[in-house]
Amino acid sequence: MEKREGFSSKFGILAAAVGSAIGLGNIWRFPYVVGKYGGGAFLIVYLGIVAAIGLPLMLSEFVIGREGKQDAIGSFKKLDSKRPFFVSGVLGVLAAFFILSFYGVVAGWTLEYVFASITNKFAGQSSEQIGNMFGSFIADPYRPIMWQIVFMGITGLIVSTGVQKGIEKVAKIMVPLLLVLIIILDIKALSLPNSMEGLKFLFQPDFSVIDGRVVLGALGHAFFSLSLGMGIMITYGSYISDKENLGSTALQISLADTFIALLAGIAIFPAVFAYGVDPSDGAGLVFITLPNVFNQMPGGYIFSIMFFALLALAALTSTISLLEVVVAYLVDSLKMARKRASILAFTGITLVGFFASLSNGPLAHLDFFGNNFFDFLDETTANYFLTTAALISVIFVGWFMDKGRIKGQLSNEGKFSIGYESIYFAIIKYVAPIGIVLVFLYQLGVFGFME
């Protein structure tokens, strides 16, 4: 049997898990869902969910992984051979597969934007022209697919070489640099005319917009952004050394992830209002607003290249983790060689991704429950797959996993005391599962009579 690799340092795991969490979810998807679901009220619901459900769930995934020492499905099977909790892992592998199929498309867009920045394509263009450039690029039958293949190919190469060599190095440089660059963008964005409008949209809640759809959107995005409900943190947890404190690791990752998303929102919404973009414009929000900001910035040419290159890197550390879920499953559960597994996963995911990309153009007429295929994949995977897999995981940890083993994991077998123990168990047993079920019911309109 292949020996399981571990991470070489505390910083290594943190870098890889943070690298997984921070990605297009923070910078591309977060602003676009905030816009889609109406702004500040969504943000408050989102933050509440991250703290009350996201963080404890991340910790639970680490516990399952470090105790099971396998990929998601294997860990569930090992910890409970009688009950079918591994279906959570199956859902997770499927979710990773389908998320990566559209995520790889968006990741490809970032490469196009690096290229467009280098060749100075946005210079002198009006806000409307920049919007049109985005629209015609994603509708093109070939170009986005070409970039998607490039991006997925790089991801596949890294994953096929094994865990620690690939991920740690990239993430260590990427996260700090990204942070600095977004803060510079924030400063610029806040100096734009109308920037207060953007901040109001992001931070001033209008609770009348909240309904089941909005809450489900927040729940789905919280899992998406924290990389939960898919077995990724289970897989990473299986690589975490027994000396690390799982609780503080989960806390640090959740804070970093949320912080980056907020900073991205502070850069983007002022620009949305300054350039007359519609906040609910959807998947193009970042790609349409930021080139305008760069156009007006001293040194914008360089910043634009750097920003999209970093966005591509942030996406890469996430695509690595997504592909790793699928590959780890093929390697651990089906005993496939890592290279073969990587090639197989790459091929399947990229092919489905072609259809996601084409659905922004030539196949736009195909209707999937009122969406094109791209938006359908995006919404369904986050709002239904991740949430359901998460629900199964919390029920497992809260009600079926041996409590002594959980405590052993949280305290490194009693090496230190866990101050948050009672609140953690209350959340995992009651708050999180009941919360998720209520959100489902709410979304289905079961509470419609209250409105």
- Return the exposure string of 37-74: e unless at least 16 CB atoms fall within 10 Å of the residue's CB, then b: bbbbbbbebbbebbebbbbbbbbbbbbbbbbbebbbbb
Distance in Å, CB of 246 to ligand TRP, minimum: 18
Query: Is the Cβ of residue 25 or residue 56 nearer to ligand TRP in the bound state?
Result: 25
Give me the 306-335 binding string for ligand TRP, x by CB under 6 A, dash otherwise.
Answer: ------------x--xx-------------
Taking the C-alpha atoms of residue 13 and residue 101, their distance in angstroms, rounded to an integer, is 25
Q: Is 82 exposed, middle or buried (0-12, 13-18, 19+ CB in 10 A)?
A: exposed
Q: CB of 411: closest distance to ligand TRP in angstroms?
A: 27
Contact call for residues 411 and 417 (beta carbons, < 8 A):
yes
- What are the beta bridge partners of residue 115? none
- Segment lying near ligand TRP (by CB under 6 A), choices 121-129, 224-232, 372-380, 387-395: 224-232
Binding mask 367-396 for ligand TRP (x = CB under 6 A): -------------------x----------
225 lines the binding site for ligand TRP (CB under 6 A): yes
DSSP string, 172-218: HHHHHHHHHHHHHHHHHHHTSTTHHHHHHHHHS--GGG--HHHHHHH
Q: Which is nearer to ligand TRP, 26 or 110 (CB)?
A: 26
Chain centroid offset of residue 266 CA: 19
In the complex with ligand TRP, which residue's Cβ is closer, 224 or 273? Answer: 224
Nearer to ligand TRP, 202 or 228 (CB): 228
295 C-beta neighbours (distance < 10 Å), count? 18
Residues numbered 80 to 119 that lie near ligand TRP (CB under 6 A) are 99
Q: 27 vs 45, which CB is nearer to ligand TRP? A: 27
Q: Residue from 230, 234, 397, 401 that binds ligand TRP (CB under 6 A)?
A: 230
Confirm if 131 and 272 have CB atoms less than 8 A apart.
no
Hey, what are 377's tokens?
Answer: 């994949």
**Judged by CB under 6 A, which stretch of 32-40, 136-144, 191-199, 220-228 contacts ligand TRP?**
220-228
Residue with tokens 């938006």: 375
Q: How far is the CB of 27 from ligand TRP (least distance, A)?
A: 8
Provide, rounded to whole angstroms, the least separation between the CB of residue 317 and ligand TRP. Answer: 8
Q: What is the DSSP letter of 420?
A: T
Token pair in block for residue 172: 């260590």
Distances (CA, A) of 157 to 39, 126, 354: 39, 39, 19
Q: Write out the DSSP string of 7-52.
A: -SSHHHHHHHHHHHHSSHIIIIIHHHHHHHTTSHHHHHHHHHHIII
Interface with ligand TRP, residue 432, by CB under 6 A? no
Q: Which one of 143-151, 158-166, 227-235, 399-407 is the stretch in contact with ligand TRP (CB under 6 A)? A: 227-235
74 versus 131: smaller Cβ distance to ligand TRP:
74
Applying CB under 6 A, does 20 fall inside the site for ligand TRP? yes
Q: How far from the centroid of its chain's Cα atoms is residue 2's Cα?
A: 29
Least distance from C-beta 87 to ligand TRP, angstroms? 17
State the sign of the Cα–Cα–Cα–Cα dihedral 320, 281, 221, 252.
positive
Question: How many residues line the site for ligand TRP (CB under 6 A)?
Answer: 16
Cβ closer to ligand TRP: 105 or 230? 230
Supply the minimum distance, in Å, between the C-beta of residue 112 and ligand TRP.
Answer: 18
43, 225 contact by CB (below 8 A): no
Site track 270-309 with ligand TRP (rule: CB under 6 A), x = hit: ----------------------------------------
Nearest residue to ligand TRP by CB is: 25
Residue of 227, 357, 359, 360 that binds ligand TRP (CB under 6 A)? 227
Interacting residues with ligand TRP (CB under 6 A):
20-21, 23-26, 99, 224-225, 227, 230, 232, 318, 321-322, 386
